Structure 1
Amino acid sequence: MGHNHSHSHVDENQSNKQLTVAVVINVLLTIAQVIGGIFSGSLSLIADALHNLSDAGAIFIALVARKIGNKPADGTHHFGYKRAEILATLFNSSTLILIGGYLIVESVSSYLNPQLINGWIVVWVAAIALVVDLATAFLTYRAGANNSINIKAAFIHNISDAMASIVVIIAGTLIILYQWYIVDLIATVLISIYVIYHGVLLLKQSCKILMQAAPNNIDTHTISNTICSKFNIESVISIKLWQLDDKESYCELVISTQHLVDLHVVKSFLHDNFNIENCIIEIQSIVNKSLT
């Protein structure tokens, strides 16, 4: 695994502008969908609106977190401010789960107390939403989806929003043609389940980072075996890995060796091959003095 520095900072100002535009048009879309949902009586349209609003919030969080994360470490925050984004993700994912649950409850209530739905309003508003979702996906992709996990997640969310809009269009069409009002409730439940699913994934990921769990993409056995064979280290007594945010990994090693070891070279190797941003190495049971 080669270390891969992101070069998104080169066009960060332009990227920020694109993300800001994406937030604004998603908020405007949300307002239009809520109004359309109220006038048409379509709960699935409101469900899609809340999903769009949550995605606007996710993009906004990524934008604010990027600014906060760029602040340097200080006397109080020795690791800097990069976990601001993780805290925001924790809040955002919890909100997603609550919204999804609320929509399912409302869909059951609507089923027990059915109302007429204007299918044409549903189709036209969902069609507008589809165009906006695709435009937002394009903006988030251009803003650096290839260089940032969080922006890439926002891009995937907007693609999924486009798919949700297609589901609503199909539901509205079936209402117009066959007066199948039940499809609106089915669409609402499907969108709600999708929202809850992604909320749980985000919640799980943010909790793992905050609980300092080891990164999923780094194998401790591979690290131990590699550095032992490459640097004449007898054994790795202890290895602890954790993530500062969703990109940077940190490591604490306790090794045993009787050979001369240049710790700077070991740290550079871990940085370049395992994406470990910073590593603390302690040596035990040595005869020769090591280089530090």
Structure 2
Amino acid sequence: MAHDHSHIDPDAGDRRVAGAIVVNLGLTIAQIVAGSVSGSLAMIADAIHNLSDALTLLIAFAARKIARRPADARMTFGYGRAEMVAALVNYTTLAVLSLWLMWEGVARLFDPQPVAGWIVVIVAGIALAVDLVTAALTYTMSKNSANIRAAFLHNLADALGSVGVIVAGTLILLFDWRIVDPIVTLGIAGYILWHVWKGTPRVVRMLMLGAPPGIETHSVLRAMEGVAGVASVHHLHLWEMQEGVAVVDAHIVAEVGTGAVDLRARVARLLHDSFGVGHATLEIELDGTCDPDAAVIGH
């Protein structure tokens, strides 16, 4: 995130996110203890999901701090990609934990264990309240920050997991349906894996310098070639410097008699107005002086 567009004071926003992190970490510890004491694997699964919320908020908190650090001689592109590196670590950890929960859940389907339903219901009820409080802390900021919005939506989704655990504990109390616990566990683990499946490609694509989602490279190429005075374009690169900051690097062959400075300005304006490109490095070449076999896209 290159800039913080939130209308909330940055320090006040940081305190909100930090408070949400502390609350979620405390809840995670309580759920793990309660799950171990009660024998509920579903409670432990929900605790791991809640830990993912805390990690998501921690990444968001770090991103807010990092976004305010200027580029320097060591990191000339800035520090915005630290968020993506941390997100990839987060997703990988969540995938491993979810697969472990699925293994344990399948094993319990064939050998249901006794579960202390009251502990499960009470702690899950507290978890639901914490999820709603966390969502309230981040709701205002989520309107102006994609980073915080993701954390906000993650917390709302986690509230559904807490509802599932409450239902499981209630059914165990009323009917001694022990098999509900591993079924809910598998559901929560599957839901976490779905989030990993949806989020990982976006992270990997950015780290691999892929074109930003929503911007089609050939559309950019055609638009640039349509600018008056452009004979051709080659060595076109399109990627994200950091989340939400599209970058173009290209060589532009100018028609004879076209001014380089004016042409560069018109192409840069087109990229900004039509595609939201915030940074463009454009090298102007004269017609007939470039390599005729140069790659149009990439090198």
TM-score by length of 1: 0.89
Equivalent of 1:84 in 58, 82, 93? 82
Partner of 1:211: 208
2:265 equivalent to 1:264: yes
Residue 107 of structure 1 and its aligned partner are, at CA, apart by 1.5
The residue type equivalent to 1:253 in the other structure is A
CA deviation map 1:196-238 (0-9, x unaligned): 2212333222211111111111122322333343444233334
Q: Deviations over 1:156-211 (max 9, x none)?
A: 11011011111111111211222111111011001001112212333222211111
1:134-213 correspondence to structure 2 within 5 Å: 134-142=132-140, 144-213=141-210
In structure 2, do the counterparts of structure 1 residues 147 and 136 end up closer, same or farther at CA, with 3 Å as the change threshold?
Answer: same
Q: Which residue of 2 aligns with 1:131?
A: 129
- The answer as to whether partners of 2:3 and 2:68 remain within 8 angstroms in 1 is no
Of the structure 1 ranges 240-249 and 84-93, higher mean CA displacement relative to structure 2 is found in 240-249
Q: Secondary structure at the match of 1:90?
A: helix
Q: Are positions 1:234 and 2:218 aligned together?
A: no
Alignment partners' CA distance in 1, 2:51 and 2:281? 42
| Stretch moving more, 201-210 or 153-162 | 201-210
Q: Amino acid of the residue matched to residue 167 of structure 1?
A: G
Gaps of 5+ in 2: 289-299
Structure 1 residues 90-99 or 248-257, which shifts more? 248-257
Alignment RMSD (CA, Å): 2.1
Contact residue 230 and residue 252 of structure 2 kept, 8 A: yes
Distance 1:5 1:17 in 2: 18
Could you tell which deviates more after superposition, 276-285 or 12-21? 276-285
Residues 244 and 38 (structure 1), Cα distance of their counterparts in 2 relative to 1, 3 Å cut: same
- Separation of aligned partners in 2, 1:145 and 1:263: 37
Pairs aligned (count)? 283
Q: Secondary structure at the match of 1:262?
A: helix
Query: Equivalent residue of 1:8, what SS?
Result: coil
The amino acid that maps onto 1:181 is: R
Over residues 242-280 of structure 1, what are the superposed CA-to-partner deviations in whole Å (9 max), with x where a residue is unaligned? 112222111112223313343134223322432212111
Cα distance change, pair 11–271 in 1 and its aligned pair in 2 (3 A):
farther
